[in-house]
Each structure stands twice: as structure tokens, then as C-alpha cells.
Amino acid sequence: MKNQTIKILLIDDEEEFISTLAERLELRGYLCRTAGDGQEGIQMVTNEIFDIAILDLMMPGITGLNTLRQIKEIQPDLPVILLTGHGSTKDGMEGMRIGAFDFLIKPLDIYALIAKIKLAIASKAPKEHS
């Protein structure tokens, strides 16, 4: 799957962070949509098909973990990469138990994120039989 065909949903309440991240991913050929909180992200997953979601765990209102639970109810096969700040791996591990593909700790390394995106996309691709 080429980058241009990969549609990413970014969910984070930090407006500057999410717009910068979207711009950096789009420069690498990904198609990005953004949501400013969990509720908006859930609504977008309800109405659109995404190849992957990148979700911040620490947001006001509906938490990242609750957002993840609802996303998985709507699109169970959607890979979700969680972002967690403050070096907290506990919530990241809880997210993986719920169904997240993986998690990364902020500040974010764009190359690590892209590697995780590629792994997540590859993991959901249909396996070819020889």
C-alpha cells in the first residue's frame, strides 16, 4: 500500500501538535484527518473508513482509553497507535490490552511513528499465499 492511499486519523487535543504532525505525515505522502478530542474522533470513525488511527491518551473530556474502547467497537480491525506523555507506559500497556496496536511516548520521534504505521498497516494487510 503506497503512502498516498493510507488514510490516518489523528486524535489529540493539542492543536499545534496535531497540525504539525499532520503536516509532517502529509509531506511524506500520507492522507491525514484530525480530531481535537475523543468524541470528535469517535464521530469520524463512525462516518469514515481509516487505515489507522493515532490517539493521544491524555485528553480532557472522554479519555484516550475510553475513546479507544469505542473506536474498537465501531471498527474492530482499525489499528490504533497510542501516544502517551510523561513517560507513562502503564496506560499504554492498558491500551494494548484493550486492543491498541502499540504505543509511543511523547515527545514523538517521527521516524519511530512512521515505522509503527508501516508495521500496523502490514499487520492488517491480507496475507498472500504462494
pTM assigned to the model: 0.92
Domain 3-124 has CATH 3.40.50.620: no
Return the residue matching grid coordinates 493539542.
14
Contacts of 12 (CB under 8 A, 6+ apart): 18, 21, 34, 36, 54, 55, 56, 59, 83
Question: What is the chain's pLDDT, residue by residue, as a tens digit (130 residues)?
Answer: 566 689 999 999 999 999 999 999 999 999 999 999 999 999 999 999 999 999 999 998 999 999 999 999 999 999 999 998 765 778 888 999 999 999 998 889 999 999 999 999 998 876 554 4
Beta strand extents in 1-116 (DSSP E only): 7-11, 31-35, 52-56, 80-84, 102-105
